[in-house]
Amino acid sequence: MEPVTPIPGFRFAPRLLALSMAALIAAGCSGGGGDVNLDASQSTTINDNSTTNSGGGGSTNPCANYIDPETNTRAQGTFDGTNCVYGPEFVGEDNPLPVSLTIPFITGVHVFEDTLQVGKFVDGTNPNETVPQSGAGPTLTIRAGNKLAWTNPDDYLLVNRGSRIIAEGTSVAPITLTGFNDAILDNAGKEDTQLWGGVVINGNGITNKCSDVQRTGGTCHVKSEGKDSFYGGNNNAESSGSLKYVVIKHPGFEVAPGDELNGLTLNAVGSGTTIENIQVYSTYDDGVEFFGGAVKVKNLVALYVQDDSIDWADGWVGSVENALIIQSTTDGDRCIEADNQEANFDAAPISAPTIRNMTCIPSGAKVPVATHGDSMGAEFRRGTQFKLEDSIFYTGYAQSLNPAQNPGRCLRITDAQTGERARSGASWVKSTVLACNTPTSNGTAWPAAPADTVADYLNNKNAAYPANTNNVLITLTAGQPVDADLVLLNRFYTATALKDLSGAALTVTPATAGSFIGAVRANDDWTAGWTVGLGQGDLWF
């Protein structure tokens, strides 16, 4: 075997200088103007894959490393005494990770100067290449408590088909993915976006952008939003890994007008993937976007997302359980934007996910102040099916903050196909409170016959829509602060005793036995300890 030699892990010296200066500044200061930096000091014991091949006088280099299978040389990050820096020679958009890698815990930051791409992507142009299936490619493991940062706005974390990511933090040692300005320079404003690209996971699941022939023949290659990578297959049970207690801060990048990277993009990701306790924080585009697949998400916090907090299309049939969505006072589009397929509303399989226990707090922001569109609750369109249960939409905070504005709609069903699927019972809304100036809205293409409105549909008018039960529509009076008699939330927690506009007790029986309505209760707070920006006094209400 040839000798193993280290590959330098940096792109240019100024970054190392900046890292060193930042470390010195941090040592002499007790605070900063940026976001909360999560403390990983309570993390559990972690396996270490550090080496002594640092070229630094024999001192141990704790940075991640691997042996390149083609050159038999070691690639390793550069350690500056506090942080690890990884240049494009280590991993990048043109240099994907060829083997499995563990990023060990350090008290500093793992800094990436290029895209952290796990595995090669297959686009179908080479007839000799087959799409790697789940587990066939490399696995990226990120130890609990780590902070990873990217130096460039257009670089991101990309997991290609066949590869996996295992990023499992804990409630006391979450994993943070963010930008250089936040993690190192500590000068990111709480609502800054586009500091880095975000997370994209490409799975082998089913998307209705491909035909049955393409899916079964292994020729399904759908281009992802943002930068080029490809996804799709025929296995909705595939596993792309596990994300637990992960905070994604300040992501999103506009590659071209209307083509942006999201906080977390899940492209045809299968139900074998575990995604639990995830926060997307200050995101330029969507918070979490699903393109096909069947992945399920549990315990989602979407805070200050400028576009849609939950967005789906192209045949997604998974679920989101427990979703806390809070928009900025000046930005945010929809809590939910839901599509089947833009080009073909009837494309199969039809999007048909379940959203259960969501709290949606819109801001009332409107363009041109808002970046992507007027703030609202949920819009179901382009033929999607859906099941919405045990949830709360509330624009009262926005109205009390600025009584002159109309904070917008709670729920809109836009077109004929979506409306007909709702009326047929394929979609439903159960045990959900909609408290807005305009609780419901019909799209211009809402079916004309019978002449029932979306409100009639939600209220099961004439027993014609029995799938819908226990919904409460509350119309807030425009131009006035919300009456104090109305009690739905205590900050973002579901109130222990709900009251209507008259102060009378409001009873909403959950659709799920033993559950409650809304995302989170104060006496069972799954957001505590690991999230950013939800502390007492942090929010705008």
> How far is it, in rounded angstroms, from Cα 461 to Cα 468?
10
The pLDDT of residue 277 is above 60: yes
Q: Which amino acid is at 50?
A: S
> How far is it, in rounded angstroms, from Cα 407 to Cα 384?
25
Tell me, yes or no, whether 512 lies in a domain: no
pLDDT band of residue 140 (cuts 50, 70, 90) is: very high
Tell me, yes or no, whether 182 lies in a domain: yes
Tell me, yes or no, whether 496 lies in a domain: no
Give me the chain's average pLDDT, please.
89
pLDDT band of residue 421 (cuts 50, 70, 90) is: very high
Tell me which of 158 and 445 has the higher pLDDT.
158
% residues pLDDT > 70 (the chain)? 88
* Closest to 458 in 3D by CA, of 511, 422, 487: 422
- The answer to whether 371 and 336 have CB atoms below 8 angstroms apart is no
Q: Which two tokens stand for residue 171?
A: 């409630």
**Weakest-pLDDT range from 42-46, 285-289, 506-510:** 42-46
Helix (H, G, I), strand (E, B) or coil at 22: helix
- The answer to whether 358 and 323 have CB atoms below 8 angstroms apart is yes
Q: What pLDDT is recorded for position 97?
A: 98
pLDDT band of residue 451 (cuts 50, 70, 90) is: confident
> How far is it, in rounded angstroms, from Cα 47 to Cα 76?
17
Alpha helices in 316-383 (DSSP H): none
Q: For residues 44-57, b (16+ Cβ closer than 10 Å) or e, as one string?
A: eebeebbeeebeee
Tell me, yes or no, whether 509 lies in a domain: no
Q: What pLDDT is recorded for position 480?
A: 83
pLDDT band of residue 42 (cuts 50, 70, 90) is: very low
> How far is it, in rounded angstroms, from Cα 418 to Cα 426?
10
The pLDDT of residue 339 is above 60: yes
Whether a cis peptide bond, with omega within 30° of 0, leads into 439 is no
Average pLDDT over residues 405-412: 84
**Weakest-pLDDT range from 100-104, 297-301, 390-394, 440-444:** 440-444
* Closest to 355 in 3D by CA, of 322, 381, 388, 324: 388
Q: How distant, in Å, are the alpha carbons of 117, 180, 262, 401, 433 from that of 190?
A: 27, 14, 17, 20, 30
Whether a cis peptide bond, with omega within 30° of 0, leads into 98 is no
The pLDDT of residue 519 is above 80: yes
Length of the chain counted residue by residue: 541
Helix (H, G, I), strand (E, B) or coil at 334: strand
- The answer to whether 495 and 508 have CB atoms below 8 angstroms apart is no
Q: Which two tokens stand for residue 25?
A: 């500044």
Q: What pLDDT is recorded for position 443?
A: 79
The pLDDT of residue 405 is above 70: yes
Q: What pLDDT is recorded for position 43?
A: 37
> How far is it, in rounded angstroms, from Cα 290 to Cα 55?
44
Average pLDDT over residues 210-235: 95
Tell me, yes or no, whether 457 lies in a domain: yes
> How far is it, in rounded angstroms, from Cα 322 to Cα 154?
30
Give CA 256 to chain center in angstroms: 21
Average pLDDT over residues 30-51: 39
- The answer to whether 122 and 232 have CB atoms below 8 angstroms apart is no
Q: What pLDDT is recorded for position 59?
A: 62
Question: Tell me: the pLDDT tens digits for 347-401?
Answer: 999 999 999 999 999 988 877 778 888 889 999 999 999 999 999 999 999 988 8
Q: For residues 274-300, b (16+ Cβ closer than 10 Å) or e, as one string?
A: bbbbbbbbbbbbbbbbbbbbbbbbbbb
pLDDT band of residue 475 (cuts 50, 70, 90) is: very high
- With 0.85 as the threshold, say if the pTM is over it: yes
Range of the domain at 407: 6-471
**Weakest-pLDDT range from 52-66, 83-97, 181-195, 514-528:** 52-66
For residue 92, what is the DSSP state?
Answer: B
Q: What pLDDT is recorded for position 308?
A: 97
Tell me, yes or no, whether 494 lies in a domain: no
Count of structural domains within the chain: 1
Q: What pLDDT is recorded for position 32?
A: 37
Q: What pLDDT is recorded for position 402?
A: 82
Q: What pLDDT is recorded for position 18?
A: 52
Q: Which amino acid is at 44?
A: T
Q: What pLDDT is recorded for position 448?
A: 67
Other residues' Cβ atoms within 10 Å of the Cβ of residue 36: 15
Q: What pLDDT is recorded for position 450?
A: 77
Give CA 401 to chain center in angstroms: 27
Tell me, yes or no, whether 519 lies in a domain: no
- The answer to whether 205 and 294 have CB atoms below 8 angstroms apart is yes
Q: What is the DSSP string of 259-292?
A: EEE-SEEEES--TTSEEEEEEEEEESS-SEEEES
Tell me, yes or no, whether 335 lies in a domain: yes
The pLDDT of residue 168 is above 80: yes
Average pLDDT over residues 101-127: 96
The pLDDT of residue 29 is above 70: no
DSSP β-bridge partners for residue 288: 264, 310
